[in-house]
Each structure stands twice: as C-alpha cells, then as structure tokens.
Amino acid sequence: MDYLAGLNPQQRAAVENTQGPAMIVAGAGSGKTRVITYRVAYLIEKGVDPFNILVLTFTNKASKDMRERIMKVVGAEAKNIWMGTFHSVFSKILRVEAEKIGYPSNFTIYDTDDSKSLIRTILRELQLDDKLYNANFVYNRISSAKNNLVSYTEYMENAEIQAEDISNKRPLIGVIYETYAKRCFKAGAMDFDDLLFKTNILLKTHPDVLNKYQQKFKYLMVDEYQDTNFSQYTIVKKLAAAYQNICVVGDDAQSIYAFRGANIQNILNFERDYPDLKVYKLEQNYRSTQNIVKVANSIIANNKNQLEKNVFSDNESGDRIKVQRAFTDNEEGKIVADSIVQDRTTKGYNYNDFAILYRTNAQSRAMEEALRKLNVPYKIYGGLSFYQRKEIKDLIAYFRLTFNPADEEAIKRVINYPKRGLGDTTVEKISVAADQHNITMWQVICNPQQYIPGRIANQLNDFAVMIQSFAAESKKQDAYETALYIAQHSGILKELHADQSEEGRGRHENIQELLNGIKEFGEREDIEDRSLAVFMQDIALLTNDDKKDDKEKDTVSLMTIHSSKGLEFKNVYVVGLEENLFPSQMSLNSRTDLEEERRLFYVAVTRAEKKLTLTYSTSRYRWGTLTNCEPSRFIDEIDARFLEIEVVKPAKSTLGEGSFNEERRTWTQQRDTFTKPKPSMSSPSGTATTPAQRPKTTSMLPKAHVPTPGFAPDAANAFQNGMEVEHEKFGFGKIISLEGTLPDVKATVFFQGLGNKQLLLKFAKLRIV
Ligand code: ATP
Ligand code: MG
C-alpha cells in the first residue's frame, strides 16, 4: 500500500476510516479529491467489490481522471466502479428502471435547446407574450422548481411561489410548467433536471428499487459537495440511508453554482443528518506556491459568509502575482499569448502547462486570435459540444425518432429537413390534432387521413414509412450500418454534399466524424450491447471535453472559470478582470451575488500551481460598442504585498511583430474614428482624448506610469489597403480598396467565404486586427 505514503496524517485518517459518515470541508488544493481517489483504491484493496462503490464527480473528465488513477493502484477492477456525474449515473439507472415510472427505457434526453424550443411552442399555443414569458426565464424557473423537488401541482399550490410569479407579472408559469411536463412525458423525454427529479420520484415511490440501490451502493463518495442542489442532496441521502457509508468532500469557499440551485446549506445539513459524522480538516495546500495561497486567502477574507479555514502551503514562496494592463481586449490576448510563448521557451514548459480562464465564453475570441497568430495550439473546454452542432443534431434527431418516434422535438427538427413540403403550418396542424385527440404527434403522422386529411397526407405517409424503415433496419444491422443507412435515406448526406461552400464541406466532414465514432463504438469489446440505440442513449450528456485523444495533444487550455473547477495548471492567466465583467454586472446588486462572484475568483486563482497572472483591459467591445473599463475591485482587494503590478509594457513586444505604441496608436485612432460624433471625425487633426475620457485607474496603480492615450488621430490613416479587419457580422476580411473622402470613405473588403463587400466606414464598425 505504497500509495498511502503520499498522504498526510489527516488525509490518511480520512482514507482509512471507511465505515460510517464522513465529511471533509477544506480549502482548495488541500487534497480532497486525492482523498476520494485513494479511499476508493483502499476500499478495493480491502476486498470491497467495485460494483458496490458509487463515486459522484462534477464533470465526466474528473471521473475519467480518477478512474485512471485508481486503475494504477488496483488494476482493471477499477472499471467496475460506478463513477460519473450525477446526470450520467442516474440516467443509467433510469434506463433500467424507467418503465416503473411510466417512461420507455429508450426515453430521449432533451438538451437545453430542445427544452427551450418546447417552451416556445407552448407559449405560442397558450398565446402568451414571449417577451414577457421569455423562454430562458421560464426554463430557469421550471429548472429551479425541479431542482428543489417542486412538482407542477406543488408549484401551483404554493402560495409563496405564486405570489412571486404574480409580482413578476408572470402568473402563468405554473400552467406552462404543467403543460411542459405533460408534453415531455408524452414524448417519452426527460430534460436534464428530470434525470435527477425523476430519480427522486422513482426512489420515493418504489421502496423495492430504493432498497436495491441501497444494497448495491454500500459505499458512496461525493466530490465538490458544496455544489450539489437539493435534488442531488436528497438522492444521496436516500441511497446512503441503509449503510451510512458516505463520504463527502467540498469547500464552501468554492461554491459557485448557487445560480443553478446549489445550496451551501447541504454542507451544514450534513452534520444534522448524521450525528455520528466524522469531520476531517485539511489545511495544507499542496498545489500552489505560498504567494498564490496567500493571495487566495486574502481574496476570500472579503466574504462574510464562510466557514473558518486556515490554508497554508509549504511549497516555495514563488513569484509575486503579476497584474497586467492592456488597452484593448486584442492587446490583452497578445500579452497573454506572448507570455505563454516566452515562458514555454525560456522555462521549458509544455503548452499543457498553461490555462487561460475567463468569466464569459465570449472572451475566448480575442485569446484565440492572439494564440493563432503565434501558432500556439489550444483547446477550448466547455464550448459548443460536437454533439450540439446543427448537422449533428439533425442526424441524431433521426436516430432519436428511430428509437422513440414519440419524441416531439425530434419530429419538429427533421420533419421538413431536408425539405419535403411539410412546413410550419403542417407541424402546427399535427400538433393541434395530437392535442385534440390526446395522442402523440407520431400517431397523427401515421394516420394522416384520419386526423388531418388533405393533400399533405401523402408526404406524411412517406415520412412515417421512412422512419419505420429506419427502425426495421436497426433491428437487422449493426450500429454503423444503421447510422449510415439513416444518413443516406433521410437525405441528409445528399443535402450536405450539395453544399460545396467551406462551411458545407465542414458540416459534411462532421457527419463523417460522427459515423466514424459510431463505427468505433460498434467495435468496442468492453460492452455487450453495441447497438445504435445504446450509442444514442446518453449522447445529450456528452460535452466537448469528453472527446478522447485530448490527453496526447499538447495544447493550451481555454475555459470559463466555472469549467475549471477541480483542475490545476502550472501557469494560469485569469483575464478580463474588469468591473461589470468580473464581477459581472448582474452580481453587483446584492452581497450574496457578489460573494458568489468572489468565490469564483477564488476558484480561478487557486487553479495555479507556479505562476498566476491577472490581466485587464481598459477598453473592450461589448455588445458591439467600444466601452471603457475599470479594473476589477477584486484586484484592489488583494493584499498588494503579493502583487507585481505592471502597467507599462516595454516598447517592443518580446515576440511577434509591431510595437506596443503602434498598437495603442491604432486603437486610439480606431476609437476616435468610430465612437465619436461626426465633427471630430471630419476635423483635420481630430481631438485629443480629454482626461474625463481616459480610462480610470484604481488607487493602487502608480499614476506616474499611466501612459496617456492622447494622439491626435488622423482618421484617414487608420485604414489602409491590405489591412486585416473584422466586421461584426461578416467576420474577418481584408481591405481591397478605399475610396471617397471623410466622413464618407467607402471600403471594399474581401470576406472569407462571402467575397467582396462595399462598406461605408462610418457605419461599418470595422476593427483592425
Ligand atoms: P480543489 O479544491 O481545487 O478541488 P482538492 O482539495 O481536491 O482541490 P487535490 O486536487 O486533491 O485538491 O490536490 C491538489 C494537488 O495536491 C494535487 O496535485 C495532488 O496530487 C496534490 N496532493 C494532495 N495531497 C498531497 C500530499 N499529501 N502530498 C503530496 N501532494 C499532494
Ligand atoms: Mg478537488
């Protein structure tokens, strides 16, 4: 048991004490996840059957990593541990038990798009104003009800909820919720929240099923427990009730999902639920340098609501934390990219050792561009999943219908794709008929003469026969052959093949990639049922991060801070530290929200092992306009002794072309050209930026070093032939020619995939890239 030597006494005690309830609430990087990993290995070595162990992690990636580590200690047996996210584990259980609660075992999982599309349909049918009853808003409301285990009946009977909806001027959300839930049920579909909500119903209404899983999961472990919601908490509590061998680990300072219903109360409840609870304290951070740990501590000390914790590091003290200012988001990207390239070459790091973390997905664009310019390979985590691309979703909708023709959202998606004369009106008619006769849309489609006689009956018949032929094929053929048959006979392949544009070819390749994936799946030896139905089952739960082969690639990681939870990197850049961005504008109204935002910042900085860099920009394009930005209050809150504030970049960039001053000049010119009213544009020398327009700086920034953006812009020079530019709608392009005089200069720009466009500069909001 050599591996136990890699634990400190408290960690070891938590690993070796396997019986009864245990909780570890400890700071970032203190080895909580390591304790869970080793505890599982220890249990198996002690003779516990891996089939009796359930480990719940926050991401699929986390469970994959954990399994690999355990495998190193106990070997292939680790494959049999039940391990995964709440959603993936309980969707598996529901596949087996669904019929007990009235669902088919091949139920569809509606992703967020499907759910919102269904909500929009319902809004239309109920003739509700979709601005007031915004689909996102309604979706979040229903989601939060489900995560708090509130059924639609309870929702409508609950005076408090009703009062809230009435005061929000949206009294009918309960009715939408009811219709939505019934529609999902009829379509044999569960949304993401249902996977937990229905599991709760299953365990509540079927004591035999509960007993079965209580006996099965004799040992339960939950990582990132601070981010569980009430629905998850209840499942865990029920499953653990028989043996009470439950160990949860978490950090209240890293609770960042309150907006999705996570409740920190779950940690506090834990002590109440299990009076025999053993609590372990871990105080030593093994991940980061002392400076990083001190910075993290000084950040979280600003929060009032937190459990008292002492975190220290025995690692080297490390460099001070760099704070760097940029003048534009593009320059911010350049600073980060330059620094990565430099550290990689001078300090011998791999690209894998770097991560760029941001508050919102939109910030990745500037980072990506800068990295591409320097040929730095990168991967965006948590972005649009492969399975969420339109063409993939289209084909998958056909697969979904093959196995569950009741699936309404799939019907709506493909009934007229490729076009076959069954437009929106027809779909509406089908939907109305289905409602009137209380049957599914599919039943209407199979008997059009009976329900909606007319000239479209033939087309509907053809559609029904086609889907039935897919189902028949799936019974005869293996996964790949079925999928290929469907791709061909649905007309999707032909449709995409006909589109010879670059995007069209890309879409065709994506379909090929999906088919290849299915082929591989069909050749796997570790599973018995390799049918397309099985391949399909949990596809809606897959994310971009779940693709294989990531490990082998040496790439810089880009992700939102939310997706970075639990991970660690030698070098971390937290970018966009500006007021209204981080902390986000939405969080500024209440202390609770601001504290959650601060915990997010704490999560971000505690991902770093060796070097942490914080960056901000004094201007940024937001919603299409250039806005001045102030540095984030979070920078101010850090104890300045641990910081190294760099506001003036050397005149020459260390790498890449162009000097800083040139870039700043371009930016100033651009800003003056396009954000100022006309008179200054036509004035021959322009107007220098007044102090009031200058980006504000915080008190801690040494004023003497702040360069003044005071160029007298000559707007005619801002754009030149051959310049690469970006347009909001058309994307990247190159200026071919310029004609006319200010303020009516016209540019001809060549955009990739679009050809030449003529643009009047004063309206076009072009950006120089
Ligand atoms: P987070 O709160 O960010 O999820 P955590 O508490 O789960 O962090 P781990 O990821 O388990 O922390 O550990 C942080 C790092 O410290 C890992 O690289 C881990 O391998 C290492 N580590 C943990 N405990 C020890 C130890 N006793 N000796 C050496 N290294 C350790
Ligand atoms: Mg962890």
pLDDT at 478: 94
**Over the stretch 500-548, which tens digit does the pLDDT of each residue have?**
887 888 888 889 888 988 988 888 888 888 999 999 887 778 766 655 5
**Which stretches of 460-607 are assigned E, i.e. beta strand?**
556-560, 569-574
Between 285 and 736, the higher pLDDT residue: 285
Q: Say yes or no: CB of residue 30 within 6 Å of ligand 1.
A: yes
The ipTM, to two decimals, is 0.99
Q: Determine the average pLDDT of the residues in 615-635.
A: 88
Taking the C-alpha atoms of residue 177 and residue 142, their distance in angstroms, rounded to an integer, is 6
Q: Higher confidence at residue 735 or residue 181? A: 181
Tell me which of 111, 193, 224, 407 is the catalytic residue.
Answer: 224
Q: In this predicted structure, what is the pLDDT of residue 92?
A: 94
Backbone phi, then psi, for 455, in 5-degree steps? -75, -15
Q: Is 214 helix (H, G, I), strand (E, B) or coil?
A: helix
Q: Are 242 and 212 contacting, i.e. CB atoms less than 8 angstroms apart?
A: no
Query: How much distance in Å is there from the Cα of 52 to the middle of ligand 2?
Result: 23
What residue owns the CA closest to ligand 1's atom 31? Answer: 286
Answer yes or no: is the C-beta of 313 below 6 A from any ligand 1 atom.
Answer: no
Q: Please state, in angstroms and rounded to a whole number, the distance separating the CA atoms of residues 422 and 416.
A: 5
Strand 189-191 relative to strand 219-222, pairing: unpaired
Band the pLDDT of 704: cuts 50, 70, 90. Answer: very low
pLDDT of 494 > 80? The answer is: yes
State the chain's mean pLDDT as an integer.
86
Question: How far is the centre of ligand 1, averaged over its atoms, from the C-alpha of 35 (Å)?
Answer: 8
Mean pLDDT on 599-617: 97
Per the annotation, the verdict on 254 as an active-site residue is yes
User: What is the pLDDT confidence band of residue 761, given thresholds at 50, 70 and 90?
Assistant: confident
Using a 6 Å cutoff on CB, does residue 250 contact ligand 1? no
Residue 586's CB: how many other CB atoms inside 10 A? 11
Q: Look-up: residue for tokens 């035999």?
A: 208
pLDDT (0 to 100) of residue 42: 96
Q: CA 587 to CA 597: how far, in whole Å?
A: 7
Note the pLDDT of residue 694. 31
- Work out the pLDDT band at 743, boundaries 50, 70, 90: low
CA angle 94, 98, 103 (to 5 degrees): 130
Nearest-angstrom CA–CA distance, 353 and 763: 43
Distance in Å, CA 489 to ligand 1 centroid: 52
Average pLDDT over residues 379-403: 88
Query: Where does the pLDDT of residue 734 fall: very low under 50, low under 70, confident under 90, or very high at 90 and above?
Result: confident
Q: How far apart are CA 429 and CA 401, in angstroms?
A: 19
pLDDT, residue 128, reads: 95
- 308 is an active site residue: no
| Residue-wise pLDDT tens digits, 241-259 | 999 999 999 998 898 888 7
The closest residue, in CA terms, to atom 15 on ligand 1 is: 287
**In this prediction, what percent of the chain has a pLDDT beyond 70?**
88
The verdict on the CB of residue 33 being under 6 Å from ligand 1 is yes
Please, what is the angle between helix 660-675 and helix 329-347, to 10°?
Answer: 160
Three-state DSSP state, 678: helix
pLDDT band for position 700 (50/70/90)? very low
* Structure confidence at residue 564 (pLDDT): 93
pLDDT classification of 202: cutoffs 50, 70, 90: very high
**Residue pair 191/106 in contact by the 8 Å Cβ criterion:** no
Report, in angstroms and rounded to the nearest whole number, the Rg of the chain calculated over CA atoms. Answer: 29
Q: Is 31 in the pocket of ligand 1 (CB under 6 A)?
A: yes
Q: What proportion of the chain, given as a percentage, has pLDDT over 90? A: 64
Interval 540-581: pLDDT, tens: 787 666 555 555 689 999 999 999 999 999 999 999 999 999
pLDDT tens by residue, 300-309: 999 987 777 8
Overall residue count recorded for the chain in this entry: 769
Confidence of residue 718 (pLDDT cuts 50, 70, 90): low
* Closest by Cα among 115, 22, 30, 3 to 310: 30
- Looking at the predicted structure, is the pLDDT value of residue 431 above 60? yes
pLDDT of residue 543: 66
pLDDT at 672: 31
Q: Which of the residue ranges 328-337, 586-595, 677-686 would you say has the lowest mean pLDDT?
A: 677-686
Model pLDDT, residue 765: 72
User: To test ligand 1's pocket by mutation, which of 4, 7, 15, 33 has the most ligand atoms within 8 angstroms of CB?
Assistant: 33
Catalytic residue among 223, 578, 579, 663: 223
Per-residue pLDDT at 169 = 92
> How does pLDDT run across 307-334, given as a tens digit for each residue?
778 899 999 999 999 999 999 999 999 9
What is the average pLDDT across 430-434? Answer: 93
